[in-house]
Chain A
Amino acid sequence: MSRYVVGRVAELPPGSRKIVMVDGRSIGVFNIAGRYFALRNRCPHQGAPLCLGRIKGTTLPGKPYARVYARDGEIIQCPWHGWEFEIETGRTYFNPHRLRVKTYDVTVERVEMADVTLETFSVTTEGDFVILHA
């Protein structure tokens, strides 16, 4: 596993996402209310670019006819067939035990100048950066 600089913290505000290509893999990095998550940008169903989908809430399982919107901003919906995934866990909403997309860890780290341990574009200034562990 390697560490990749996704960008400055200010470039990934809450509610936003960034798609990065690392080592031949397309990965979506998300900021949900100040917490960071990352998902493989390929739907396990038919290969669609999952992380380009709509970030949304969903309706929670409940009693028949009760349709309540919740979890706003925590779900991503595949742009093709509408499968819903929890951004935090990568699990599908309809079958969380069997179907999921790969997740990666994301951290925020203070990067000093000339930190050579990071792979990807060079970091020429210091500050707080979003780091993908993939």
Chain B
Amino acid sequence: MSAAAREPIIDCDVHNRFKDRSMRELLPYLPRVYQEDVKQWGVNMPAGGYPNGGDRGYRADSWPQDGYAGSSVDLMREQLLDRYHVEYAVLLGQELRPLGTLPDADYAAALAHAYNEFLIEHWLAADARFRGAMLIATQDVPQAVKEIDRIGRHPGIVEVLVANGARLPYGNRYYHPIFEACEALGLPFALHTGSEGVGINGQPSVAGYGSYYVENRQVRPQGYMTHLTSLIFEGVFERFPKLRVVFVEGGYAWLAPFLWRLDADYRGLRDQTPWVRRPPSEYVWERVRFTSQPLEEPERPSQLLEVFAWNRADRTLMFASDYPHWDFDSPVDAFPRLPDELRRRIFRDTAAELYGFAPRDAAAPSPSIASPGGGEA
């Protein structure tokens, strides 16, 4: 391992899970009426019908003795935080991320509220290196805004999270109050892959459903292109001049060629959306960030360096491992050899700037940060 690989890193996509299917840890945070429902029906999240990869979707070596992969703080410390010198790990949950798939808006909002409380009390308190993405249910925008206002000031909450699968492209005016709330609290609006075509969401692609899971994985960049285009041309970045957006786990190599196309179209079509005052790519360089995993694997690994130059990776790319999912990217082995400064931008500094973490110079040389919960390893 090189010296650079031993420097502290920030992991922008880590999945914390409940112990088992029952999610009984969530019950104390739900109103009594939903506790009764969950006892009878389970949490009842719509499923997509596709299998997954790895061992039930996870690294085969990431299952603790007593529960689901991703449910053990101790194992996460051993396999991720301590092993790879993670200074901060942003937790994006798992089972409840598809909240937007539920037909019942009030139930979905109650689950978001319960998860956010559970996240703070169980996870963020367990290790000072954890930071959290709060969930919202977009079925009822006023309730989502209320939840952001309620919990978004917590120092451990660093972004507001929704899924790629949706009922409308995220730039649509339907969502604008959510962006207003995010901007007011300085919280990035983050999208994570998933929920495409599930529950009440729209179909996963313009031609509906692929037959196989491997096809389903390829709708991620399609969805992200749709959402990114919508955010730009509905004027979200003009209307909310401080809003930042994060695209998690939806690919990265597609970005620059896609922006070349947007910029070219903009030259001839600008008059149809005159509130878009700058070439589309400029909004992306300034306000949109992408997480790295699963990093594309070109024929020659060095070709990624060309892609990184096209995509201005020193500003737009943030490392993510996706631990404990089976398509985990190792911070040590997933990337080609990078120039030191670019490596630091991708593995730490861009995320530190986005989430308001201390700059590198001020950071401890190793992640020996005191834990408010006393749970430091």
Interface of B is mostly: loop
Most buried by B among A48, A77, A80: A80
Which of B55-63, B88-96, B241-249 interfaces with chain A? Answer: B55-63
A47 touches B333 (CB 8 A): yes
| Residues of chain B with a CB closer than 8 A to A54's CB | 55, 60
A47 to B61, CA, bound (A): 13
Considering the complex, which residues of chain A in the window 73-103 have a beta carbon less than 8 Å from any beta carbon of chain B?
77, 79-82
Whether B330 lies near A52 (C-beta < 8 A) is: no
Interface centre among B327, B330, B332, by most chain A C-beta atoms within 10 angstroms, is B330
A-B pair number, CB within 8 angstroms: 39
In the complex, chain A residues whose CB is within 8 Å of the CB of B329: 46
Known: A52-B60, A52-B61, A54-B60. A80 touches B332 (CB 8 A): no
B333 touches A46 (CB 8 A): yes
- CB-CB contacts below 8 Å: B292-336 with A: 326-330, 332-334
Task: Give Cα A49–Cα B328 distance, bound, in whole angstroms.
Answer: 13
Are A81 and B326 touching (Cβ within 8 A)?
yes
Which residue of B has the minimal Cβ distance to A65?
B211
Complex CA–CA separation, A48 to B333 (angstroms)? 10
Cross-chain contact of A82 among B53, B332, B333, B334 (Cβ < 8 A): B53
Q: Which residues of B contact A80 (CB under 8 A)?
A: 54, 59-61, 326-328, 330
Contact in complex: B332, A47 (CB < 8 Å): yes
Smallest Cβ-Cβ distance to B327: which chain A residue: A81
A79 to B333, CA, bound (A): 15
Note all chain B residues with C-beta closer than 8 A to A79.
54-55, 59-61
Tell me whether A53 is interfacial, beta carbon within 8 Å: yes
Bound complex: CA A45 to CA B55 (Å): 18
Give the total of B residues in contact with A, Cβ under 8 Å: 14
Residues in B whose Cβ lies below 8 Å from that of A52: 60-61
The interface residues of chain B lying within 8 Å CB-to-CB of A47 are 330, 332-333
Q: List, in ascending order, chain A residues with CB within 8 A of B330's CB.
A: 46-48, 80
Give the residues in chain A near B61, CB-CB below 8 Å.
48-49, 52, 79-80
Q: How far is the CA of A49 from the CA of B330 in the complex (A)?
A: 12
A49 neighbours in B (Cβ, 8 Å): 61
In residues 38-72 of chain B, which contact A (Cβ within 8 Å)?
A: 53-55, 59-61
User: Would you give the 0/1 interface string for B322-364, flagging 1 where the beta carbon is closer than 8 Å to chain A?
Assistant: 0000111110111000000000000000000000000000000
In angstroms, Cα B323 to Cα A80, docked, is: 10
Minimum CB–CB distance from A90 to chain B (whole Å) comes to: 19
> Which residue of B has the minimal Cβ distance to A52?
B61
Closest to B62 in A: A79
- B-side contacts of A46, CB under 8 Å: 329-330, 333-334
A66 CB to nearest chain B CB (Å): 14
Task: Report B96 CB to chain A, min CB distance, Å.
Answer: 25
Using Cβ atoms and an 8 Å threshold, which residues of chain A touch B326? 80-82
For A81, the chain B residues whose CB sits under 8 A away are 53-54, 326-328
When distances are taken between beta carbons in the complex, the residues of chain A under 8 Å from B334 are: 46
5 A-B pairs with the lowest CB-CB distances in the bound complex, closest first = A79-B60, A46-B333, A46-B330, A79-B61, A47-B333
Can you show 22 pairs from A to B with CB atoms below 8 A apart?
Answer: A45-B333, A46-B330, A47-B330, A47-B332, A49-B61, A52-B60, A53-B60, A54-B60, A77-B60, A79-B54, A79-B59, A79-B60, A80-B59, A80-B326, A80-B328, A80-B330, A81-B53, A81-B54, A81-B326, A81-B328, A82-B54, A82-B326
Task: Given contacts A48-B330, A52-B60, A81-B54, list 18 more A-B pairs with CB under 8 A.
Answer: A46-B330, A47-B330, A47-B333, A54-B60, A79-B54, A79-B55, A79-B59, A80-B54, A80-B59, A80-B60, A80-B326, A80-B327, A80-B328, A81-B53, A81-B328, A82-B53, A82-B54, A82-B326
